[in-house]
Amino acid sequence: MAKVSVMGAGSWGTALAVLLHNNGHEVILWSALGDEVALLREKRENPGKLPGVKLPEEIVITDDAESAMENPDVAVLAVPSPFTRSTSKNLAPFVKEGQIIVNVAKGIEEKTLMTLSEIIEQEIPQANVCVLSGPSHAEEVGRGLPTTCVVSSKKKETAEYLQEIFMSPVFRVYTTPDILGVELGGALKNVIALAAGTADGLGYGDNTKAALITRGIAEIARLGVKMGAKTETFAGLSGIGDLIVTCASVHSRNRKAGYLMGKGYTMKEAMDEVKMVVEGVYSAKAAKALAEKYQVEMPIVDEVNKLLFEDKPASEAVTDLMQRDRKGEISEIPW
């Protein structure tokens, strides 16, 4: 049995707390929000973010970061990506040398273009930072539906230790050393999911979505490889796997926000309607900036940025994608 502190009590943090408890571990669930802690203690449920998933009485719920970070074997950082830096900064004084911190959020910081693990390492240099990612909606993990993820660490033994902690009959975990590829796949798929949702909102069909998913992963992989990630990672769970589920699922916040924009909502109206953090909106500008920095062509990302920040009509964005110059599908394959 391990002692695990889940730092962040949103839908994903709550679902992972239940999973880890069911795996036989001692679990603390922390939130920075006093009102949220009071609600979770009273209801033993997060009715606004994860309704129907009960928190066992054995899970300790607290807003005291110092006590939550007192000698856990593993700390799971489960706050939304825009709060990764501020939360890491606040936790840093309580983190001991070599503490394993597993980031489970997905995003890229707009101002610095840093991945979330890079942010955590910058704010908590004494930590051993790892990543858990993959096609894993909290609504399904919380209900115990079969799910598969990947955990990444600089050290194989740390990844295998975390694999053992998270693994269960309904939660299968693989390992990989490619932290950068895992994080880029998890962050950039949210931008493509906005495009897929927009196509749904416009009333387009499965052909359109398949095209966006396929060409979307091509864009993500082009950028990732240029940045130093491994091609194979984007064919895996944190690449095409996560992209498929985020573009297609009714649980996807990014797809829902895109769907609303396809129906004519502004970006702000769509985010207000979703009522939870839409990570793709925060990652879109960073994705475009990375594409420019590494001189990688990412037309879907470009059009999503115009849709979000330049009020470009969704139908025009699709037309412009369809009418781009003719190209071969995979340039590396010779005639």
Query: 219 and 210 in contact (C-beta within 8 Å)?
Result: no
Q: How far is CA 232 from the centre of its chain?
A: 19
Cα–Cα nearest to 19, from 133, 132, 138: 138
* Cα 295 from Cα 85, distance rounded (Å): 27
* Cα 145 from Cα 142, distance rounded (Å): 8
* Cα 184 from Cα 38, distance rounded (Å): 35
3-state DSSP assignment of residue 46: strand
**Strands 100-103, 50-54: pairing kind:** unpaired
Strand ranges in the chain using DSSP code E only, listed in sequence order = 3-7, 26-30, 45-46, 50-54, 60-62, 74-77, 100-103, 128-133, 147-152, 171-176
288 is catalytic: no
Selected catalytic residue, list 189, 209, 285, 288 = 189
Phi, psi at residue 122, to the nearest 5°?
-70, -45
Q: How far is CA 139 from the centre of its chain?
A: 14
Phi, psi at residue 235, to the nearest 5°?
-90, 0
Adjacent-strand bridge partners of 2: none
Query: 89 and 32 in contact (C-beta within 8 Å)?
Result: no
Query: 272 and 99 in contact (C-beta within 8 Å)?
Result: no
Question: Which residue is it, tokens 């929000």?
Answer: 33
Query: 18 and 78 in contact (C-beta within 8 Å)?
Result: no
Kindly list the catalytic residues. 189
